[in-house]
Chains A and B, each alone.
Chain A
């Protein structure tokens, strides 16, 4: 158990809909990262927040947005969903601000299925 929690575990929705994925980092960790993993794309970094502020941005679509709240939990919002958005979405946390030496602790993931 990494100490990172993600909800829900599974999500099934229809094209065009909007969903929110939630992540609680390990106690004391200030950074939260979001990743998308699909069969054809591998593990793709989406975005990182550090202590409430956006710190780094990867290949995140404009239809996707995220935020980190004062209690440090984070939410990833996915809108206008398409079939291709079906994937595993992982959240990770680290103690520091997102340097290349930070150890990331990953949650169990949310499996999103868009029908």
Chain B
């Protein structure tokens, strides 16, 4: 099971781009990387998922280098409402006993 490591916290200011990096050194060949966002007292919400190179949606971009040992979630021009905890998960598409490991995530605080 690939273990992930993220910074515990980050600070930013409104309008800036924020990049949160997740390390997953022992990621398996078939593993995908998924990011979730959680606001206080709410359940996590899916942001983005990718396998390699770059994935972009209306909310964020996900950059995955060729060795796939890390990934970076990029939030363009953050606002106060992006203050939340961000989780990186790794897992593959095979069924069976997948154990979702959210850990403590990265607490992002956006300042005015």
Q: Mark B75-112, 1 if CB is under 8 A from A, else 0.
A: 00000000000010111111111111111110000000
The size of the chain B interface, using a CB distance under 8 A, is 30
Chain B nearest CB from A29 CB (Å) reads: 13
Max count, chain B CB within 10 A of own CB: residue among A4, A35, A43, A99: A43
A101 and B34: CB pair below 8 A? yes
Which of B12-20, B41-49, B61-69 is the interface stretch? B41-49
A108 and B43: CB pair below 8 A? yes
16 A–B contacts from the bound complex (CB under 8 Å): A45-B100, A55-B95, A92-B43, A96-B95, A99-B92, A99-B94, A99-B96, A99-B98, A100-B91, A101-B34, A103-B46, A105-B46, A106-B42, A106-B44, A107-B43, A108-B42
Inter-chain contacts of B32 with A (CB < 8 A): 100-101
A100 and B42: CB pair below 8 A? no
Task: Assess whether A20 is interfacial by the CB under 8 Å rule.
Answer: no
What are the 8 closest A-B residue pairs judged by CB atoms, nearest first? A100-B91, A106-B43, A43-B102, A42-B104, A56-B97, A97-B95, A101-B93, A103-B46
Cα A42 to Cα B106 with chains together (Å): 11
A58 and B99: CB pair below 8 A? yes
A57 and B97: CB pair below 8 A? yes
B95 and A45: CB pair below 8 A? no
